[in-house]
Amino acid sequence: MGTTALESFKFCTRLTLTEVTGRKASNIGELLEGIKAADDAVIYHHTHRFIKQSHHLVPEGANDFAYWVTNTVQADRLGEELTSIDIVRYNSLADIRNAFVKMLERHIEENPGPMRTVAPGREFHFMRAIRFSLPTECSAKDYASFIECLKNVSVSSLYLHVFEARLRPPYGVDDFSHWFKTNFNDEKVEQELSRLDPYSYTLESLRQRIIRIIERRLTEARNV
Amino acid sequence: MSKIDEYIPAAGRSAIEELKIIAARLKGKTILNVNSTAVGGGVAEILNRMLPMMTELGIKPRWELIKGGEDFYAVTKKFHNALHGTRQELTPADFQLYRDTLKVNLETLNLDADIALIHDPQPAGLIDKKPAGAKWVWRCHIDLSNRQADVWDFLHGYVSRYDAAVISAPSFSQALPIKQFQVPPSIDPLADKNKELAAEEIAEIMGRLNIPVDKPLITQVSRFDRLKDPLGVIEAFKKIQPYVTARLLLVGGSADDDPEGSQVLAEVRAAAEGDPDIIVLCLPPTSNIEINAIQRASAIILQKSLKEGFGLTVSEALWKGKPVIAGAVGGIPLQITHKYSGILTRTIDGTAYWMKRLLHEPAYAKKLGENGREHVRENFLLTRHLRDYLLLALYLESGKQDFIHL
């Protein structure tokens, strides 16, 4: 395990602007049609942005679709299934969309009767996320400065590097693990970070967890 | 300390740094705001606080006011009510008066700017003189979900020529040929209504207002208006009185200049009569610190609205870390996630049930309040509002890409 990185880790952050598409769904069938027609910006809004916006809440209803189906349509079983779709497991927004489509199609096939239509005003509104990525002033070259940065960056930055990073090359890998692996050949940190699950922590507690993992490695290195 | 850095304790250091990074990309750009009033009303309140922040960030904000006679404002008031869903009779002469007034304004107003935010219907017609190359946004603060067709059709002719429209909630959107963005309103954490208060200051104000604090207070702060359902609040409270030790406090304006409000206030007083644990309090409209102290001294805050625009009073209450029970109407569900950051109800019985439950489960009530405050910190502070406007300006300036690297 080296002490200084070949390449500094430059923390960035993600901000979004919400576009209203005007498309609405009043029942499960319309939700399915809307998801089928949705582009990446729509899928991102209702999955990734949802986690970030609700990060301080108990992580239940892990995406907007599941939240609406559970709380408004009150289709508990389907809501539970949609909640269980692990969006960080997928390497593209298209794959995430297909997972929702598949689940909704199966539900409709298994439940061919009339669909419950929600009351006016309680429809699902399809939105798009316009994404902005910004550099921050935080940059790390070793374990200690990485921890310092982690303490100061926003939860948006944390989210971008830990979860959204998996949607771009190298696919399925978070930025932190990748940096520790390529710069310090630290497979232990890589493994621990790559196991983190957004549904088990709020982003603030996730921040503390990552700090603890890296602090522990720093202590181990000093004791060697 | 610069004004913008004063927001760090409320919004967080990273939120302010993000603002500075975004603003650096808009340095030197002129952002024009046009509305109908410099004081009074939510738009003027926000602009008065937001524009100095823009200046500090290196942007050149400008603010113009549309001018018109009483007859013009009578027409635009009708527009406003019609868009809100209250039926109005508009004549061809009313629409012509609007056109004529806008024509005069087009000759006198300086509309030169890189980006313009045109607020609400009154100045919407200024689009006729949009300078070449400028980006214009129609900023609608009104809930259009029940809008009257003739007024909307008239405005549609103007609005559809803008580069984008901004609405406060997705349910307010209308069919338009331009892109629409959601930018919810916000509260200012440094304003008298929301700023932190010391315990001694709260105690002094409660003493001055003669509000006893020996029992937990359940409070609703709102106009004496049927749509805020103050009588429903009293009914709900009476249902739980046999089981709880608490006091209900209804705070509103004096309603002197509002005949319907006076009537509602009289009914509220009659319903509360003889019950020492129900207090009805009228405060002047400038009582911002008093409202702040009352909210901070309360155990539970209600906003039992039957109809609501955005209902930003909910965010004001949540910002004080209080558990809020509110009607699931208008923009309130955007501010409260039921059972996580507050409670949404639809009936008097539901309101009564949750008041009782939160009084009996203070740890859960506390958690709701904490979650609510964090939700407001992330989503409903003035700094987020400014950030959204700046992001929109960047989006329009950079050729409307879905993905923008700064």
Residue A195 near residue A52, CB atoms below 8 Å: no
Answer yes or no: do A80 and A55 share one domain.
yes
Q: Would you list the DSSP string of B348-380?
A: HHHHHHHHHHHHH-HHHHHHHHHHHHHHHHHHS
Q: What tens digit of pLDDT does each residue of B175-187 get?
A: 999 999 999 999 9
**Does A104 reside within a domain?**
yes
The string of pLDDT tens digits covering residues A164-205 is 888 888 888 899 999 999 999 998 998 898 888 766 777 788
Alpha helices (runs of H) in chain A, residue ranges in sequence order:
28-37, 40-44, 50-53, 64-68, 76-83, 93-110, 143-152, 155-162, 175-184, 187-194, 203-223
Q: Is residue A79 part of a domain?
A: yes
Q: In whole numbers, what is the pLDDT of chain B averaged over residues?
A: 94
A127 φ/ψ sector (left φ>0, alpha ψ -120 to 50, else beta):
beta
Are A30 and A92 contained in the same domain? yes
> Which residues are paired to A124 by β-bridges?
A25
The two counts, helices (H) then strands (E), for chain A are: 11, 2
pLDDT at B122: 95
Determine contact, residues A211/A197, Cβ cutoff 8 Å. no
The Cα B171–Cα B150 span in angstroms is: 20
**Inter-chain touch A130–B17, beta carbons under 8 Å:** no
Q: Is residue A156 part of a domain?
A: yes
What is the widest separation between alpha-carbon atoms in chain B?
Answer: 68
- Do both A41 and A146 map to the same domain? no
Same domain, A208 and A156: yes
Q: Is A2 contained in some domain?
A: no
Maximum pairwise Cα distance, chain A: 67
Residue B235 burial (C-beta neighbours within 10 Å; 0-12, 13-18, 19+): middle
Res B249 pLDDT > 80: yes
Residues B43 and B141 sit within 8 Å (Cβ to Cβ): yes
- Average pLDDT of span B308-325: 94
Compute the distance between CA of residue B141 and CA of residue B153 in angstroms, rounded to an integer. 18
Domain closes at, from A80, A103, A128: A128
Residues 6+ apart with CB under 8 A from B231: B264, B267, B268, B271
Domain ranges, residue A149? 9-13+133-223
Looking at the fold, whether A103 and A177 belong to one and the same domain comes out as no
> Which pLDDT score, from 0 to 100, does residue A78 have?
96
For chain A, say whether B171 makes contact (Cβ under 8 Å): yes
More confident residue, A20 or A162: A20
- CA gap A146, A11 in Å, rounded: 10
Residue A63 main-chain phi, psi, to 5 deg:
-155, 160
3-state class (DSSP) for residue B106: helix
A22/B174 Cβ within 8 A: yes
Residue A115 lies in a domain: yes
Interface membership of B88 toward A (CB under 8 Å) = no
pLDDT score of A88: 79
* Residues 183-222 (B) with a CB less than 8 A from some CB of A: 183
Same domain? A213 vs A174: yes
For the stretch B260-301, pLDDT in tens is 888 999 999 999 999 999 999 999 988 999 999 999 999 999
Q: Which domains does chain B have, with CATH numbers?
A: 4-186+381-397 (3.40.50.2000), 199-379 (3.40.50.2000)
Give residue B21's identity as a one-letter amino acid code. Answer: I
Residue B378: list chain A partners with CB under 8 A: 53, 55-56
Domain termination site, one of A128, A151, A167: A128
Contacts of B379 in chain A (CB under 8 A): 53
Asked if B187 and B215 count as a contact pair (C-beta separation under 8 A), the reply is no
Query: Could you tell me if A141 and A58 lie in one domain?
Result: no
Query: What's the pLDDT tens digit per position in B143-177?
Result: 898 899 999 999 999 999 999 999 999 999 999 99
Whether residue A26 is found in the same domain as residue A80: yes
Two structure tokens written together for A200: 């088990």
Encode pLDDT of B356-391 as tens digits: 999 999 999 999 999 999 999 989 999 999 999 999
Kindly state the percentage of chain A with pLDDT values over 90. 57
| % of chain A residues with pLDDT over 70 | 92
- In this model, does residue A53 exceed pLDDT 80? no
User: What is the nearest CA distance from A131 to chain B, expressed in angstroms?
Assistant: 5
Q: Is A20 helix (H, G, I), strand (E, B) or coil?
A: strand
A37 assigned to some structural domain: yes
Q: What token pair was written down for A10?
A: 């430059």
Interface contact flag, A134 B388, Cβ < 8 Å = no
Q: Chain B closest CA to A45's CA: distance in Å?
A: 12
Contacts 24+ apart (CB under 8 A), A66-74: A68/A31, A68/A124, A69/A28, A69/A31, A71/B338, A72/A118, A72/A122, A72/A124, A73/A27, A73/A28, A73/A116, A73/A118, A74/A116
Asked if A148 and A11 touch (Cβ cutoff 8 Å), the reply is no
For B391, nearest residue in chain A (alpha carbons): A17
* Inter-chain residue contact B406 with A132, CB threshold 8 Å: yes
CA-to-CA separations, B117 to A99, B163, B241, in angstroms, rounded: 40, 11, 50
Domain assignment present for residue A1? The answer is no
- Is A56 close to B145, i.e. CB distance below 8 A? no
A20 and A117 fall within a common domain: yes
Is residue A101 located within the same domain as residue A61?
A: yes
Q: How high is the pLDDT of residue A2?
A: 63
Residue B229 pLDDT class (50, 70, 90 cuts): very high
* A120 Cβ contact partners less than 8 Å away, ≥ 6 residues apart: none
Identify the contact set of chain A against chain B, taking CB-CB distances under 8 A. 13, 15, 17-20, 22, 40-41, 53-58, 60, 71, 121, 123, 125, 127-128, 130-137, 152-154, 156-157
Planar angle of CA A149, A150, A151, nearest 5 degrees: 90
Q: Using pLDDT thresholds of 50, 70 and 90, give the confidence band for residue A56.
A: low
Q: Which residues of B touch A123 (CB under 8 A)?
A: 171
Say yes or no for a CB contact (<8 Å) between B170 and A127: yes
Query: What is the pTM (predicted TM-score) of this model?
Result: 0.91
Give the residue from A95, A128, A161 where a domain finishes: A128
Residue B268, H or E segment: helix B259-272
A64-75: average pLDDT = 92
- Which of B20, B308, B378, B386 is most worth mutating to test chain A (most A CB atoms within 10 A of its CB)? B378
Indicate the range of A118-127, A150-159, B312-321, B385-394 predicted with least confidence: A150-159
Interface predicted TM-score of the whole assembly (ipTM), two decimals:
0.89
Domain count, chain A: 2
CB B184 within 8 A of CB B334: yes
Residue B129 DSSP symbol:
G
The pLDDT of residue A146 is above 90 = yes
- pLDDT at residue A224 greater than cutoff 70: no
Q: Does B399 touch chain A (CB under 8 A)?
A: no
Weakest-pLDDT range from B53-57, B225-229, B243-247:
B225-229
Token pair 């809307």 is found at: A34
Cβ separation A22–B175 shorter than 8 A: yes
Q: Is B196 helix (H, G, I), strand (E, B) or coil?
A: coil
Quote the pLDDT of residue A154. 84
DSSP state string for B225-239:
-GGG-HHHHHHHHHH
- What end-to-end distance do the CA atoms of chain B give, in Å? 27
Please tell me the predicted confidence (pLDDT) of residue B218: 98
Could you tell me if A168 and A68 lie in one domain? no
Q: Is residue B321 less than 8 Å (CB to CB) from chain A?
A: no
Give a yes or no: residue A4 inside a domain.
no
Amino acid type, B197:
L
Residue B60's SS3 state is strand
The answer, yes or no, to whether residue B13 has pLDDT greater than 90, is no
Pair (A190, A173) in one structural domain:
yes
